[in-house]
Structure 1
Amino acid sequence: MLSYFVILVSIVILASCGSNQAKYPNDTEPTAVAGDTIRIANDSLEYEIIIIEPGFNAWLATQPPRGYFTPAIMDASNDRKVLEYNLRVNAPLNYDPSLYVFRIDYDRDVDYGDEVTFLLFNYFRFFEQRYNQRL
């Protein structure tokens, strides 16, 4: 009698394991951690900046607030650094291609709004500090 009970309990335990369930609900892959991705969109002008960089959000919280740097300073810095960054993207033999992956589509004559300008300015500061690069 005891052996029947042990066999029955074993079958119930094995059947309840649910080993055939999907690893992710609805068969979707896990997404990036919300704290590692920042997306700012200027919907009225149809511009957006997406920063996917581990540690950027925490670093940004320790930096001077919006308004500390004037828009003219941030625009001038962004103009110069975007140009240099894109030159490095186009020269993968001279610069680490794992750092300079995508071109930044930036036009100095377009007003992207304060939020996009602020984040791009601070991303370049973060990038220079984290990867010991000088743009």
Structure 2
Amino acid sequence: MKTKLYYIFLGLAIILFISNCNTPKKISNSEIKEEPVVIKNDSLEYEIIILDIGFNQYLNTIAQPVGYYTQAYLENRNRFLVPIWNSRVSDPTRFNPNIYQNIIDYNANINYGYDVNYKLFNYFQFAQRKYRMTLR
């Protein structure tokens, strides 16, 4: 019995060794250094820094590409989503303060530009997926 087990483990080890030699190494999420995402408009001196792990990957793999949405669409969505987010920040007894940490100072009358609106909108999409919540 011990001999059979030994050969089974030896066989598995050889298979694993061969498969590791033939396949390229995959990089796990823990090996990728997550850089903060900076949302800013220099002319307006407006800046948001997002440190949420996984947001970079979301922007690069899941989010619709830049240009997919119009700026008007993104502005309309952000006008709707920012007040919901801010109300949750203001109510830490009902909503997780580890998720809703900072008020977003977003004025619908200011043109922040496409990049700011795109990344802000996609952060809301990312947060809803990651934290399994709905901003309504």
Q: Compute the TM-score of the two structures, normalised by the length of structure 1.
A: 0.71
Deviations, residues 27-53 of structure 1 (Å, cap 9, x unaligned): xxxxxx963301133212211221111
Aligned equivalents of 1:102, 1:117: Cα separation in 2: 17
Unaligned runs of 5+ residues in structure 2 are 1-31
Larger Rg: 1
Equivalent residues, number:
103
1:59 aligns with 2:63: no
Aligned runs of 1:6-25 on 2, under 5 Å?
A: none
As a proportion of its length, which structure holds more helix? 2
CA RMSD of aligned residues (A): 1.4
How much has 1:82 moved relative to structure 2?
A: 0.5
1:61-93, Cα deviation, whole Å (9 max, x unpaired)? 012111101112111111111000001111111
**Aligned residues with identical type, % of pairs:** 42
Q: Which residue of 1 aligns with 2:37?
A: 38
8 Å CA contact retained: 1:71, 1:114: yes
2:66/2:118 contact within 8 Å kept: yes
Query: For residues 78 and 34 of structure 1, what CA distance do their matches in structure 2 show?
Result: 28
Tell me the CA shift for residue 121 of structure 1.
Answer: 0.6
The AA in structure 1 aligned to 2:36 is T
Structure 1: unaligned runs, 5 residues or longer: 1-32
